[in-house]
Amino acid sequence: TAASGGGLVAYADSAAESASEPSQNAPKKKVLVLGTGWAGTSFLKNLDCSQYEVKVISPRNYFAFTPLLPSVTCGTVEPRSIIEPIRRMFEKKSKDVTFYEAECFKIDASKKTVHCRSAVGTNLDGNGDFMLDYDYLVVALGATVNTFNTPGVLEHCHFLKEVEDAQKIRRSVIDCFEKASLPNISEEEKRKTLHFVVIGGGPTGVEFAAELHDFLVEDLVKLYPAIQEFVKITIIQSGEHILNMFDERIAAFAEEKFQRDGIEVATGFRVVRVSDDLITMKSKSVGEEVSVPYGMAVWSAGIGTRPVIMDFMQQIGQTNRRALATNEWLRVRECEGVYAIGDCATVSQRKIMDDISMVFKMADKDNSGTLTLKEIYDVLEDICLRYPQVELYMKSMHMLDIADLIKGAIGDAHKESMVVDIEEFKKALSHVDSQVKSAPATAQVASQQGNYLAECFNKMDKCKEQPEGPLRMTGGSGRHFFRPFRYKHLGQFAPLGGEQAAAELPGDWVSMGHSTQWLWYSVYASKQVSWRTRVLVVSDWTRRFVFGRDSSR
């Protein structure tokens, strides 16, 4: 029954369920964080580390500001400017936070342990393996590249995921220019060497192409005047348009700008094979294969699952998925004390139709078997908190009120009384679940999740009393509870080169052009994780304005 904690929130196995009474002498609970990317560091920054014994594992002892990685590929920003040492980030918390530079290769949820491997041998037998145990595990391992098993991609393409990747790309671009400048090179060979191909027309691919184009026209043409006519950039995109996760106006603006810039955009082509000098792609409409010679290729066509996550999903029976499924409180389903945030995870939102009879019963306070509008209004807030799709659906249908939804179901005959039975209630909400969307794999989502989870951890013992979420339906009010995680989209940018950018901001607001680029500069400067990196990034930008980019290797 409602009073015994059932009802609308009975499904919410929340963060606090295993929290125990904090006592003076009880040892602190062990929190183990895997990964120091956007999700992991945002969790650590917001966690009250003094409440826990915190350990952090990552094979890289720094955080990388990934949105500026494309700028590193052409030397607009230096690699050192976008990374922040982990130990420095948590200097003030160093009493409570221990960092180990190692890779986690196995999570054993049944034993509550994690197996790690350091690159340096530490044991007597010469390897660097060790094991850690935890009470709470925060999996924030991010994602890896996805080649979709396309032959030759791993061997011949560059990726743009890590700082080292960006540095390799930078060297490789310069290599191509130096190679094409050597004597005794045929025109055909020059053309091939200076053909830069980007596979994947998402934000990363597009930004890289734009960055490369700027590097060419602003710096390299002056330094390599003899070969500038042989340079070509191509973006290969399997969909109809590039930037298809953005508003169509932005995609159109980007395509037009690229056309003016001479960047070729090949849409509707899927790359099927890559050899050391040819990229073979297949037209989706005609089905015919074409091969193009290239000098350098960057693959940015999707994200994949890390092996350690794959192995863990297998253990807990989550198969055939890209990412770890969590509940709305970011806890891994069927897995005690394990949370997952960022690119390695997706929230699976409960469907309201799965719970519809329960929701109906909860709302029907007088057990009449029917709901009045007032009964619905009384629980509407809780319903929207637990099933955000209800609100999204009403918004998408331009409905101001749930009464509109109900009217649609009961028809004109009963309009006066506005009383619904279970069948009509079901009918009214039957399309609502179509609005369930998973959040994109972005830094914005990862950091909001890290932040949210830290808040839950900070409040864990306060919430112990009634952890399952909104309580008004279960009779209590004003007590603490965990809201389910909800992503708040603050908009996104697409830098397009030539000091122009496009932005999509909340409220269907789209902006494009030079002023948007300035907005981009200020937003990205303000988002830097420390004053040190902020100063470095801004001075890199200034240096580039004044002196151009550095074209040495």
User: Can you give the binding site for Mg ion, defined by CB under 5 A?
Assistant: 35, 37-40, 64, 66, 140, 342, 345, 364, 366, 368
Q: What is the DSSP string of 466-511?
A: STTS--GGGT--SS--PPPP------EEEEEETTEEEEEETTTEEE
The SS3 call for residue 107 is: strand
- Site stretch for ligand FAD (CB under 6 A), options 66-74, 129-137, 167-175, 263-271: 66-74
Q: What is the DSSP string of 205-242?
A: HHHHHHHHHHHIIIIIHHH-GGGGGG-EEEEEESSSSS
Which residue's Cβ lies closest to ligand FAD?
37
Give yes or no for a contact between 296 and 196, defined as CB atoms under 8 angstroms apart.
Answer: yes
Closer to Mg ion by Cβ: residue 251 or 341? 341
Report how many residues bind ligand FAD under the rule CB under 6 A: 33
14 interface partner picked from Mg ion, ligand FAD, none, CB below 5 to 8 A per type? none
Binding residue for ligand FAD (CB under 6 A) from 161, 195, 361, 549? 161
Q: How far is the CB of 326 from ligand FAD (least distance, A)?
A: 13
366 interface partner picked from Mg ion, ligand FAD, none, CB below 5 to 8 A per type? Mg ion
Does residue number 75 form part of the binding site for ligand FAD (CB under 6 A)? no
Contact string (CB under 6 A) for ligand FAD, positions 415-444, x = contact = --------------------------xxxx
For residue 140, give both structure tokens: 């924030």
Q: How far is the CB of 90 from ligand FAD (least distance, A)?
A: 14
Closer to ligand FAD by Cβ: residue 144 or 372? 144
* Residue closest to 140 by CA, chosen among 332, 349, 335: 332
Q: Give dist(CA 292, CA 262) in Å, integer.
A: 17
Closer to Mg ion by Cβ: residue 83 or 263? 83
Does residue number 343 form part of the binding site for ligand FAD (CB under 6 A)? yes
204 interface partner picked from Mg ion, ligand FAD, none, CB below 5 to 8 A per type? ligand FAD
Half-sphere exposure of 42 (CA within 13 A, CB side): 23
364 interface partner picked from ligand FAD, Mg ion, none, CB below 5 to 8 A per type? Mg ion
Closer to ligand FAD by Cβ: residue 230 or 253? 253
Does residue number 150 form part of the binding site for ligand FAD (CB under 6 A)? no
Closer to ligand FAD by Cβ: residue 60 or 472? 60
How would you class 243 by CB atoms within 10 Å of its CB: exposed for 0-12, middle for 13-18, buried for 19 or more? Answer: buried
For residue 508, give both structure tokens: 């269907």
Amino acid at 468: E
Give yes or no for a contact between 420 and 428, defined as CB atoms under 8 angstroms apart.
Answer: yes
Closer to Mg ion by Cβ: residue 445 or 501? 445
How would you class 416 by CB atoms within 10 Å of its CB: exposed for 0-12, middle for 13-18, buried for 19 or more? Answer: exposed
Considering only residues 173 to 232 of the shown chain, the ones binding ligand FAD according to CB under 6 A are 204
The SS3 call for residue 521 is: helix
For residue 416, give both structure tokens: 């006066």
Residues near ligand FAD (CB under 6 A) are 34-40, 57-60, 66-67, 69-70, 103-104, 140-142, 160-161, 204, 306, 308, 342-344, 441-444, 446
